[in-house]
Structure 1
Amino acid sequence: MKNSLFIPVACAGISHREADIPALEDFRFPDEKEFMDEAGELFKGIVLLQTCNRIEIFVHGDGATLDRFLKDKGRSGYRMLEGEDVLDHLLRLASGMESMIIGEDQILGQLKTALILSQETGHCDRVLDMCINRAIHTGIEVRNRTKINSGAVSIGSAAVTLAEDLLGTLEDRHILVVGVGEMGKLVAQAIAAKNLKAIYVTNRTYETAVDLADKIGGKAVKMDDLYRYISLSDVVISCTGAPHAVIHASELREALESRRWPLDEKERPLILIDIAQPRDVEEEIANIDRVKVFTIDDLRSVSEKNMGIRKKQAEAAEKMISLDLISFVSMLNRTSADDILVDLYTWAESIRIRERDKALSRLKDADEKTRGVIEDLSKVLVKKMFSDATIAIRGCAESGDLEGAEKYVHAITRGNNPCIRKDDSED
């Protein structure tokens, strides 16, 4: 893409499109604040977005510096974008076009959370604040006007759909939800509409499990009873925010010994769907007989089916994003004139103060009211005199002519002729 963006912005990222779960886990930054503080020494602003299937780093700065920083942190295999490509990617991301489940709404909340983290850690500047908020606004507009999220499912509800496809029906089944964070709530909402025999909810903090269970008509259980309720369940959907596995092979094998009920003709299979990042389920569990483990990677089929249904809406969304990108670039370029205008107003302020002081020196007996009138008058004159110039300078930057904006300022502050080309002045 041709880059006509004056403000340097860059993005490095990895997602379900380029990487599998182990690669995503290796790339993840477990201590987000520490990462932000270290990156903050190099960039004017930084936003870190980490979800179950993507990690994105947006910076107000250049891509080469970001690339060196990430390599020093031992990261590799990421894509790097700069300039307009960053804005295009951000708009597509917020619109749900880059999500595994096309059109899902969860990404909007995740972008807001990432922005809040940047603000709270002191690493969000005006440029990135504008970028994230503009992208969120576009994402909302795309959904409202194209209905790309009509009937859309989140990763959580896609996990429930996968379980239903695997079992044929969830009617009269027992399901255990492990973790009641944002993803767990989405899972719970999806299964609440099914005709289940029992819904169990567990979480590290028992009280939050009780709150969610009450809302969906389920039963809250303590984490100490995790394996007991796994043995009672047909499906376990795990989505905690723990930095390590919470379902272990040795304990699960022991729990499965009592899984076969007296009237069962054969041993019942157990379906474990792990949509946490990092993973909740130890890899060794996939080797246990009667246990089928599925991960985010297995939800791709749901995404492909979802994309087929929404193809026309996606085409309309693409057109909206392309048009909005033009105004997005103009908006940021307009702010790029700020540094140029600082020179203009610094120059004007120095003249104002000098002439004000001259006038006041001639009015030796002026009282405070008179001095205040002169102060206000001088400020108003400067503001009025340069209002048209400010509009013209911002207009140049907005239309992509930063050189023209600089010439305006030089013409005013240094007496340069803006009509003389650089080549002509060198003859």
Structure 2
Amino acid sequence: MAECQTAPLAIAGVSHHTANVTMIEAFRFADEPAFLEAARTRFPGVMLLQTCNRVEVLVEGDAAGLRAFLAEQGRKDFFVHEGPGALRHLFALASGIDSMIVGEDQIIGQLKKSLSDAQETGTASEFLETCINKAVHVGVEVRRRTLINRGSVSIGSAAVTLAEAEIGSLAGKHILVVGSGEMGLLVAQALAAKHLTAMYVANRTYKRAEILAGKIGGKAVKFNELYHYITLSDVVISCTAAPHAIIRRAELARAMKDRCWPPEGHPRPLILVDIAQPRDVEEGAGTIDGVRLYTIDDLRSVNEQTMSTRKAEADRAHGFVEAELSLFLRHLNRRTAECYLASLHTWAEEVRVRERERALSRLGAADEKTISVIDDLTRVLTKKLLTDATYSVRTSAEEGDAAAAEALVNAITKGDRIEGKPEKE
């Protein structure tokens, strides 16, 4: 019999809930296509979700298999969800409930991109696609039905809030944004309303820096002038997708010396916010005189503030997630029921055809009418004999008792014994 599972989904990884930025960085997979290629030999479907505050692997399979695979990849100390629990986690994730910045919208696009990447490498199974598409639908509906993202902040805008809290006010300040991707755009948009004296945008591709700067009225700067503009800036927010540090300790130390006046004094303070993953700022940069370095870990306080104002909305979102999870599991259970019933009816059809042929061979040269009557008779008998069994199997599966459905099918098709529950004394 084909294997029938209600929710063959497993998710494992690390996130801001249990890991700091160093641990998340260590868990990352630098070569995503290579990881997906390796995983496809073990699972019917696999996806990799990597953001600034989480790394999660989603597979069509079980927790034991995923746990063993990640151990082979040198990963440890990760959470694992399986079955309905994995679906609940996925729906909560898409809804923004599980995010560091509760209600943030970027996770929807990140889930879609992870699915697209898996489709491109051929590792996105039909089941995973169904789960992700449903999760995205739930996430969109949560935001439509609740106020969980009303006035919400992204990681990018939270970084701006943090910088503003540290410096007092950004009005009249010089700000440098390093990176022109989605996060860079979010940072720049959050900065646009702060009445800055100047906003600079640096990116390895100068054309992309020009495009972003044009959108928010900033000035694009060439990457080889990065440290010059660090010298001019009060705040630097770095959010590139580079696989290695792009703000080096030694060069930053030299830039900070240029901020000294008088030359023998202490440098003018620099707020440096690194929200990239992997990190953009080299280890040890925070020890340089005048540098106040902040990372993703420092944004937790911003989340605590937003969470306190959105607790009621988050509770409403949890309720909607549970309702949608129940509906989706019922849908999956119906699919499971059809899987078991297909096995049952395939077995019955094989028996029917075999016995029909035996009867016809005993009749010898039968005419067409006789053959038709016997064929109809065997079909009707088979259908009627399976009516009650079909109802029991379908009901058991749809109610989530796949074990009972499987036991019923095996009892009929293989003669297995159904273990009864011991009677109470």
TM-score by length of 2: 0.84
- Structure 2 counterpart of 1:37, one-letter code: E
Which residues in structure 2 correspond to 1:122-133 (within 5 Å)? 122-133=122-133
Q: Cα gap change, 1:362/1:321 in structure 2, threshold over 3 Å: closer, same or farther?
A: same
For residue 226 of structure 1, what is the aligned residue in structure 2? 226
1:115 equivalent in alignment to 2:115: yes
1:388-411 CA-to-partner distances (Å, cap 9, x unmatched) read 998986554222243565577679
Q: State the shift of 1:124 in Å.
A: 1.3
For residue 368 of structure 1, what is the aligned residue in structure 2? none
Q: Distance in 2 between matches of 1:202 and 1:279?
A: 16
For residue 66 of structure 1, what is the aligned residue in structure 2? 66
Identity across aligned pairs (percent)? 53
Which residues in structure 2 correspond to 1:1-400 (within 5 Å)? 6-260=6-260, 267-343=267-343, 346=346, 396-400=396-400
Verify the 8 A CA contact 1:87 1:328 in the aligned structure 2: no
Q: State the shift of 1:297 in Å.
A: 0.7
Q: Distance in 1 between matches of 2:391 and 2:7?
A: 19
Tell me, what secondary structure is at the counterpart of 1:246?
coil
1:109-130 CA-to-partner distances (Å, cap 9, x unmatched) read 1111111111111111122111
Q: Distance in 2 between matches of 1:253 and 1:92?
A: 43
For residue 371 of structure 1, what is the aligned residue in structure 2? none
1:206-255 CA-to-partner distances (Å, cap 9, x unmatched) read 11111111010001111011111111111000000011000011111222
Q: Distance in 1 between matches of 2:131 and 2:304?
A: 29
Q: Cα gap change, 1:19/1:225 in structure 2, threshold over 3 Å: closer, same or farther?
A: same
Tell me, what secondary structure is at the counterpart of 1:183?
helix
1:110-153 CA-to-partner distances (Å, cap 9, x unmatched) read 11111111111111112211111111111111111111000000
1:356-378 CA-to-partner distances (Å, cap 9, x unmatched) read xx9xx9999xxxxxxxxx9xxx9
RMSD of the alignment, in Å?
3.3
Q: State the shift of 1:97 in Å.
A: 1.0
Segment of structure 1 superposing worse, 135-144 or 147-156: 135-144
Q: Cα gap change, 1:198/1:313 in structure 2, threshold over 3 Å: closer, same or farther?
A: same
Q: Distance in 2 between matches of 1:405 and 1:73?
A: 37
Verify the 8 A CA contact 2:7 2:84 in the aligned structure 1: no
Structure 1's unaligned 5+ residue stretches are 365-373
Q: Distance in 1 between matches of 2:49 and 2:113?
A: 8
Q: Cα gap change, 1:103/1:281 in structure 2, threshold over 3 Å: closer, same or farther?
A: same
1:68-116 CA-to-partner distances (Å, cap 9, x unmatched) read 1111111111111212211111111111111110111111111111111
Verify the 8 A CA contact 2:201 2:209 in the aligned structure 1: yes
Extract structure 1 runs of 4+ deviating beyond 4 A.
260-263, 344-355, 361-364, 388-396, 403-411, 413-416, 420-424
Q: State the shift of 1:345 in Å.
A: 6.2
Q: Cα gap change, 1:392/1:119 in structure 2, threshold over 3 Å: closer, same or farther?
A: farther
Verify the 8 A CA contact 1:108 1:139 in the aligned structure 2: yes
Verify the 8 A CA contact 1:14 1:55 in the aligned structure 2: yes
- Structure 2 counterpart of 1:120, one-letter code: E
Verify the 8 A CA contact 1:11 1:82 in the aligned structure 2: yes
Q: Cα gap change, 1:423/1:282 in structure 2, threshold over 3 Å: closer, same or farther?
A: closer
Verify the 8 A CA contact 2:12 2:81 in the aligned structure 1: yes
Q: State the shift of 1:288 in Å.
A: 0.7
Verify the 8 A CA contact 2:234 2:269 in the aligned structure 1: yes
Q: Distance in 1 between matches of 2:46 and 2:89?
A: 16
- In the comparison of the two structures, how many residue pairs are matched? 397
TM-score by length of 1: 0.83
Q: Distance in 2 between matches of 1:335 and 1:42?
A: 23
Tell me, what secondary structure is at the counterpart of 1:283?
coil
Q: Distance in 1 between matches of 2:261 and 2:292?
A: 19
Q: State the shift of 1:323 in Å.
A: 2.0
- Structure 1 counterpart of 2:33, one-letter code: K
Q: Distance in 1 between matches of 2:48 and 2:129?
A: 13
Q: Distance in 1 between matches of 2:402 and 2:261?
A: 76
- Structure 2 counterpart of 1:336, one-letter code: T
- Structure 2 counterpart of 1:235, one-letter code: V
Verify the 8 A CA contact 1:334 1:395 in the aligned structure 2: no
- Structure 1 counterpart of 2:95, one-letter code: S
Q: Distance in 1 between matches of 2:129 and 2:392?
A: 25
Tell me, what secondary structure is at the counterpart of 1:10?
strand
Tell me, what secondary structure is at the counterpart of 1:318?
helix
- Structure 2 counterpart of 1:31, one-letter code: D
Q: Cα gap change, 1:330/1:291 in structure 2, threshold over 3 Å: closer, same or farther?
A: same
- Structure 2 counterpart of 1:276, one-letter code: A
